[in-house]
């Protein structure tokens, strides 16, 4: 393959990796740090009522999916009721029903809301034409108020503001009094404002919600206004007319219907509770991916069983150790036994930790090498000799584990998790190098293997690396691109620069 083809392949791999990681970070909001937490709010609606012995039907509006909060988890608790969900006038609604029911009953709706989980698709839906419902004296009063506020407005936005302010400050005006009634409440003012705007050609509605920024055992329902213009719904404060929804409030439903309606029962009580907790950003991002792109989630590591995910948490760090190995061998020039044996030893260090791993590795290899030299005198064939060394290695590992137990060095018990075949092959390879190239070369390769294994272990054990490589396995393409580039490296190794440094000195 030419250099141009190689560089093209590397560029494609890097671009694919960065695009996929960027999508996860910027769109699905996967965290780059392992311990990132975000605020999540737990919402519970508790319903209690006394059934009268006949059919019972309970309807409850569910919080709507939209900005700036979204529902990422919902649970319905009931016993003896049928259950269904539906959409009514753009709202989500759950319906519980039972044929014959008597006595006190309890129903619960629980949800978890988070910030920035979904777009406001529901808010952008164009409204249906509505009738403001003004007749008689109300129609005359509404026409007079609309004529007045139109004279002080220039567009839909300023018309909304003028209507809200006119209803808030004109309580003594006869026309406003007819529309608001004898005892105007805050909700009544906003409902009248929405009807006036609809009569004026601007679709509007009252939105109801709860405040999430504070804990509340019995949260109150708040209200604000939304008007439709410029192909979108725009929120306004129902008292001052300021643009924007109240900060920290979750939009629940819109319209004039109450939150809960119960037929066939009496003594209905409703309580809304709000609590806050810390949730892993990765858990929230996983839910977001499952909702936004279910096909992508089904073919991701996060869809695997938990025990399988634990395996890949370790397995996906192996390329990091391999990259360290390639750099140390091809760029630095460290000699090792075999190609990937140091990486496998690094995996074993995960059980024993680094210091104890080096001690136990050196002890087993040293004793095994001593016995291997004695087996050499017996003139055994290759396969029986390797089998004998393997048996000796297992015996040594068992003895070290027993001795560690007696001495209270419990890390020594993990030596049994070392790859026995790798240990056996290391002893065999070291003995051959010892005989053919001398003790110095054998020790040099042995120490080089330990050094590379230690560096690979330290790299693979960084929590940030483990998190990033598991959450963004696309980065393996980036590692592949780096390894391909290193495969074409033909320059001097650092050890060679040190070895031949005398050649760079000027002649005397």
Helix axes 318-326, 341-352, angle to 10 degrees: 130
pLDDT at residue 67 tops 50: yes
pLDDT at residue 349 tops 90: no
Beta strand 204-211 with 249-254 is antiparallel
Beta strand 102-115 with 91-98 is unpaired
What is the pLDDT, as a whole number, of residue 123? Answer: 47
Residue located via tokens 């948490």? 313
Q: What values do phi and psi take at 104, rounded to 5?
A: -75, 135
What is the pLDDT, as a whole number, of residue 15? Answer: 95
What is the pLDDT, as a whole number, of residue 95? Answer: 93
What is the pTM (predicted TM-score) of this model? 0.57
Question: Taking a C-beta distance cutoff of 8 angstroms, is the pair 57, 78 a contact?
Answer: no
What is the pLDDT, as a whole number, of residue 120? Answer: 42
Q: Which of 313, 321, 362 shows the shortest CA–CA distance to 340? A: 321
Report CA-CA distances (Å) from 4 to 14, 185, 348: 15, 75, 40
What is the pLDDT, as a whole number, of residue 121? Answer: 41
pLDDT at residue 73 tops 60: yes
User: Percent of the chain scored above 90 by pLDDT?
Assistant: 18
Position with higher pLDDT, 495 vs 18: 18
Q: Which residues contact 215 (CB under 8 A, 6 or more apart)?
A: 274, 275, 276
pLDDT confidence bin for 295, thresholds 50/70/90:
low
pLDDT at residue 380 tops 70: yes
The mean pLDDT value for 442-449 works out to 87
Q: Which residues contact 279 (CB under 8 A, 6 or more apart)?
A: 37, 38, 39, 40, 112, 114
DSSP state, 508? -
8-62 tens-digit pLDDT = 999 999 999 999 999 888 877 788 877 666 667 888 899 999 998 889 999 999 9
Question: Taking a C-beta distance cutoff of 8 angstroms, is the pair 462, 350 a contact?
Answer: no
Specify which of 102-111, 180-189, 339-348, 361-370 reaches the highest per-range mean pLDDT: 102-111
**CATH architecture for residues 123-254:** Roll (3.10)
Question: Taking a C-beta distance cutoff of 8 angstroms, is the pair 325, 482 a contact?
Answer: no
393-403 tens-digit pLDDT = 888 878 877 87
Domain boundaries, the chain: 123-254, 317-472
What is the pLDDT, as a whole number, of residue 413? Answer: 47
- Distance, CA of 147 to CA of 38 (rounded, Å): 49
Q: What average pLDDT does the structure give for the chain?
A: 82
DSSP state, 338? S
What is the pLDDT, as a whole number, of residue 343? Answer: 87
Q: Is the CA virtual torsion 327, 331, 335, 338 positive or negative?
A: positive
């Amino acid at each position: 393959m030419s250099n141009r083809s190689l560089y093209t392949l590397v560029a494609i791999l890097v671009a694919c990796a960065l695009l996929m990681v960027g999508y996860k970070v910027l769109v699905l909001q996967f965290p780059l740090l392992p311990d990132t937490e975000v605020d999540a709010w737990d919402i519970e609606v508790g319903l209690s009522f006394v059934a009268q012995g006949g059919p019972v039907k309970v309807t409850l509006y569910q919080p709507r999916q939209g900005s700036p909060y979204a529902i990422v988890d919902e649970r319905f608790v009931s016993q003896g009721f049928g259950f269904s969900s539906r959409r009514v006038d753009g709202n989500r609604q759950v319906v519980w029903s039972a044929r014959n029911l008597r006595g006190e009953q309890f129903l619960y709706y629980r949800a978890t809301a988070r910030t920035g989980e979904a777009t406001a698709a529901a808010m952008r839906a164009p409204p249906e034409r509505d009738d403001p419902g003004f007749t008689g004296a109300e129609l005359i009063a509404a026409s007079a108020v609309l004529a007045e506020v139109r004279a002080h407005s220039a567009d839909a936005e300023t018309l909304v503001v003028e209507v809200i302010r006119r209803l808030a400050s004109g309580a003594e005006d006869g026309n406003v009094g007819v529309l608001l009634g004898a005892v105007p409440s805050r909700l009544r003012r906003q409902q009248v404002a929405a009807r006036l705007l609809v009569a004026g050609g601007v679709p509007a509605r009252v939105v109801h919600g709860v405040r999430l920024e504070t804990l509340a055992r019995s949260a109150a329902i708040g209200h604000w206004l939304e008007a439709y213009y410029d192909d979108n719904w725009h929120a306004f404060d129902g008292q001052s007319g300021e643009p924007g929804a109240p900060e920290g409030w979750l939009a629940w439903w819109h319209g004039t219907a109450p939150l809960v309606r119960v037929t066939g029962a009496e003594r209905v009580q409703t309580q809304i509770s709000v609590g806050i907790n810390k949730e892993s950003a990765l858990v929230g991002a996983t839910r977001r991916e499952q909702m936004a792109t279910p096909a992508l989630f089904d073919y991701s590591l996060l869809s695997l069983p938990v025990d399988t995910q634990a395996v890949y948490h370790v397995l996906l760090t192996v390329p990091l150790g391999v990259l360290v190995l390639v750099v140390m061998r091809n760029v630095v020039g460290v000699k090792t036994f075999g190609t990937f044996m140091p990486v496998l030893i690094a995996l074993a260090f995960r059980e024993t930790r680094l210091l104890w791993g080096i001690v136990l590795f050196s002890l087993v290899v040293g004793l095994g090498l001593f016995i291997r030299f004695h087996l050499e005198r017996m003139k055994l064939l290759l396969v029986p000799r390797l089998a004998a060394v393997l048996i000796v290695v297992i015996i040594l590992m068992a003895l070290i584990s027993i001795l560690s137990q007696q001495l209270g060095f419990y890390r020594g018990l993990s030596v049994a998790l070392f790859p026995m075949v790798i240990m056996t092959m290391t002893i065999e390879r070291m003995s051959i190098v010892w005989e053919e190239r001398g003790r110095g070369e054998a020790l040099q390769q042995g120490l080089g293997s330990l050094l590379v294994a230690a560096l690979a272990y330290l790299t693979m054990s960084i929590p940030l690396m483990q998190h990033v490589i598991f959450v963004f396995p696309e980065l393996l393409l980036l590692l592949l691109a780096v390894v391909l580039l290193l495969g074409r490296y033909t320059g001097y190794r650092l050890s060679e620069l040190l070895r031949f440094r005398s050649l760079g000195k000027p002649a005397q």
